């Protein structure tokens, strides 16, 4: 039995925020004819300028045109991640629309599924990433540790399955995990330019939305390390 996927109406839009680094990434789309995204390097001015950039970015659409919101919920910087999640939760509550919390690492993995550029290759093999391979993502964490996760895109690129949830561990433990992994995978490192994956945050949220998921704003929690934190 084939699941019938839902689609947004042409007049409905979705908005994504990425604030886990010093950059602000915004993306908006109706997943038909209109899509736009932009990244700003705001550094410490993120909290004081976010609302202004949001108001200008959504024009000519209005808040009433939004069907759902997506937000990168970490891992990443504590302050930026918190600001983004709080903003998304507030908008979702006020507008009465779903809020999708999308992993920073998942968005990076998805960027290599939907846009496997020639530069996208394994540090060890130089091969281009293929959608049928699992994707391992690593990212520097505090105190010399690393964040790591492993994902598996479906053959038709309709879903990104979580094989190993986002976890913080020592570099040694991460390497042991990869060494013992029993399926083919490609390794990428999330270091810079993460806000540009805001479009991938939006895409992953839309895939969930199409399958009927409608998470309440209260379910969107930041991921700082070991566990999501209540806010």
Q: 231: pLDDT confidence band, cut at 50, 70 and 90? A: low
Residues 181 and 139 in one domain: yes
Q: What pLDDT score was predicted for residue 229?
A: 52
Residues 150 and 209 in one domain: no
Q: What pLDDT score was predicted for residue 131?
A: 56
Question: What digits encode the pLDDT tens for the residues 23-74?
Answer: 999 999 999 989 999 999 988 888 889 999 999 999 999 999 999 999 999 9
Tell me which of 111-120, 186-195, 203-212, 216-225 is least confident: 111-120
Alpha carbon separation from 41 to 44, 56, 72, 97, 181 (Å, rounded): 9, 16, 16, 28, 37
Domain coverage including residue 99: 13-104+194-219
Beta strands in 53-98 (DSSP E): 66-72
Structural domain includes residue 229: no
Q: Give the CATH number, domain containing residue 167.
A: 3.30.420.200
Q: 125: pLDDT confidence band, cut at 50, 70 and 90? A: very low
Structural domain includes residue 68: yes
Please name every residue paired with 36 in a beta bridge, in sequence order, or none if there are none.
28
Q: Using a pLDDT cut of 90, give the percent of the chain over it.
A: 74
Say if residues 137 and 108 touch (Cβ distance below 8 Å).
yes
Residues 180 and 214 in one domain: no
Q: What pLDDT score was predicted for residue 88?
A: 98
Residues 185 and 127 in one domain: yes
Residues 158 and 57 in one domain: no
Q: Which two tokens stand for residue 220?
A: 């969107």
Beta strands in 92-175 (DSSP E): 99-102, 134-140, 146-153, 160-169
Q: Give the CATH number, domain containing residue 93.
A: 3.30.420.40
Burial (CB < 10 A; 0-12, 13-18, 19+), residue 64, is exposed
Q: What pLDDT score was predicted for residue 191?
A: 83
Please name every residue paired with 123 in a beta bridge, in sequence order, or none if there are none.
none
Into how many domains does the chain fold?
2
Question: What digits encode the pLDDT tens for the residues 134-172?
Answer: 999 999 998 899 999 999 999 888 899 999 999 999 999
Residues 84 and 184 in one domain: no
User: In this predicted model, which residue has the larger pLDDT, 43 or 20?
Assistant: 20
């Amino acid at each position: 039995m084939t699941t019938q996927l839902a689609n947004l109406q042409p007049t409905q839009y979705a908005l994504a925020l990425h604030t886990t680094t010093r950059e602000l990434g915004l993306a908006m789309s109706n997943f038909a004819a209109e899509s736009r995204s932009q990244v700003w390097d705001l550094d410490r001015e993120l909290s004081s300028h976010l609302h202004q950039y949001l108001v200008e970015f959504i024009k000519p659409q209005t808040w009433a045109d939004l069907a759902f919101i997506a937000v990168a919920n970490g891992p990443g910087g504590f302050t930026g991640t918190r600001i983004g999640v709080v903003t998304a939760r507030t908008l979702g509550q006020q507008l009465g629309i779903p809020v999708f919390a999308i992993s920073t690492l998942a968005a990076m993995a998805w960027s290599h599924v939907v846009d496997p550029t020639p530069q996208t290759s394994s540090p060890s093999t130089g091969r281009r990433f293929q959608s049928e391979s699992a994707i391992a993502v690593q990212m520097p964490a505090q105190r010399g540790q690393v964040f790591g996760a492993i994902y598996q895109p479906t053959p038709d690129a309709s879903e990104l399955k979580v094989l190993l949830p986002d976890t913080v561990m020592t570099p040694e433990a991460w390497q042991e995990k990869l060494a013992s992994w029993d399926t083919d995978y490609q390794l990428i490192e999330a270091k810079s330019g993460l806000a540009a994956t805001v479009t991938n945050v939006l895409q992953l949220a839309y895939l969930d939305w199409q399958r009927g998921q409608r998470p309440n704003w209260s379910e969107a929690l930041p991921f700082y390390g070991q566990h999501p934190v209540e806010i």
